[in-house]
Amino acid sequence: MTVNNWLLQASHDLEKAEVETAHLDALILLEDCVARDRAWLLAHLDYQLSAPQVRSLKKLLTRRAMHEPLAYVRGRCEFYNHEFVLTSSVLQPRPESEVFIELLQTLLHSDDLRSNSATPIRITDVGTGSGALGITAALEVPNSHVELLEIDPQAVEVAQTNVDKFTLNISVIRSDLLTSARQPADILLCNLPYVPDDYQVNRAALYEPSIALFGGEDGLDIYRRLFNQVRQHKFKPLFILTESFEFQHKSLEKIAGSVGYRLVKTHDFVQVFQYNMQFSKSTVKT
């Protein structure tokens, strides 16, 4: 079978299965299998695929036609121009979550963080999953000390694989939110489960681990637990970044506010909370 014939048939099969990005997905799978980029493939449409390649592609195509996320089918994904190993044990990083890194970059210019520029910025990625968020922070933020926290043991393994892939000196710790953290943090990156239990997710999301998606009746139970843990810590992170649906933002702002954090920035799904140093100690349990 030629590249052209396979692409036509594969695109047709995925379109029939109602996969919106049918042609692109078929091309990406073909790139992986043949180990050639799309420019080469499109310039060599008469290239003959081997029988083992056709068999392998058929298996991958069947999985994608069932709406299994392309990242799981491939076993890897891109996030902030870095490639991460991925399995169905962890949530696939979303492009919208790249806002975390963009906002983090702006926070580095905060007077509170610049007051002692010689000291590494301590960043903790809570509920790290694949490790994409915290690892990207380590790669993009010079003079930072990053820690990855994750409750699920299978996700811990994936995060450790990615830490090793980038040969970084980062601790991956099995932890229920902040309970086993080894360092106080200047900044918390918290892309925690926030989907309400009765929320109708799409077919692709059904392949993702429910522990990484759902957060109780209103979706904010895990965030309540997080901020309650922050309440107990003597050292409060200066900034806490969270992700949630827009309709949850007001409620999350109230949860953070009860622990002394004020909203300073909202960008799409992500909110930035800053600790109010003047927050009355009488309202904070230490």
- Tokens 């309440």 belong to 231
> What confidence score (pLDDT) does residue 204 get?
87
| Lowest pLDDT segment from 48-57, 63-72, 205-214, 270-279 | 270-279
Scanning the chain, the segments in alpha helix (DSSP H) are: 3-16, 22-34, 38-43, 51-65, 70-74, 99-107, 111-114, 132-140, 153-165, 221-232, 249-257
* Centroid of chain to Cα 163: 14
Torsion of CA 262, 189, 106, 76, to 10 degrees: -150
Specify the pTM. Answer: 0.90
H helix and E strand count, the chain: 11, 9
| CA dist., res. 250 & res. 256, Å (int) | 10
Mean per-residue pLDDT, 213-228: 97
Q: What is the pLDDT of residues 125-158, one digit of tens each?
A: 999 999 999 999 999 998 899 999 999 999 999 9
> What confidence score (pLDDT) does residue 110 get?
75
Q: Is 14 exposed, middle or buried (0-12, 13-18, 19+ CB in 10 A)?
A: buried
* 280: confidence class by pLDDT, cuts 50, 70, 90: very low
Q: Backbone phi, then psi, for 78, in 5-degree steps?
A: -100, 140
> What confidence score (pLDDT) does residue 109 get?
80
| CA dist., res. 148 & res. 159, Å (int) | 8
| CA dist., res. 223 & res. 213, Å (int) | 13
Torsion of CA 199, 202, 207, 210, to 10 degrees: -10
* 286: confidence class by pLDDT, cuts 50, 70, 90: very low
Residue 191 has pLDDT above 60, yes or no: yes
How much of the chain, in percent, has pLDDT values that exceed 90?
Answer: 88
| CA dist., res. 10 & res. 68, Å (int) | 15
Per-domain residue ranges of the chain? 3-66, 79-283
Q: Which residues contact 77 (CB under 8 A, 6 or more apart)?
A: 71, 83, 84, 86, 92, 93, 130, 132
CATH architecture of 79-283: 3-Layer(aba) Sandwich (3.40)
> What confidence score (pLDDT) does residue 142 get?
86
Q: What is the pLDDT of residues 70-122, one digit of tens each?
A: 999 999 999 999 999 999 999 999 999 999 999 999 998 877 676 556 788 99
Identify which of 280, 63, 115, 96 has the alpha carbon closest to the alpha carbon of residue 194. 96
* 278: confidence class by pLDDT, cuts 50, 70, 90: low
* 283: confidence class by pLDDT, cuts 50, 70, 90: very low
- Tokens 């994409």 belong to 132
Cα–Cα separations (whole angstroms), residue 8 to 11, 12, 22: 5, 6, 10
Q: Which CATH number fits domain 3-66: 1.20.5.50, 3.60.9.10, 1.10.510.10, 1.10.8.10?
A: 1.10.8.10
Helix, strand, or coil (residue 36): coil
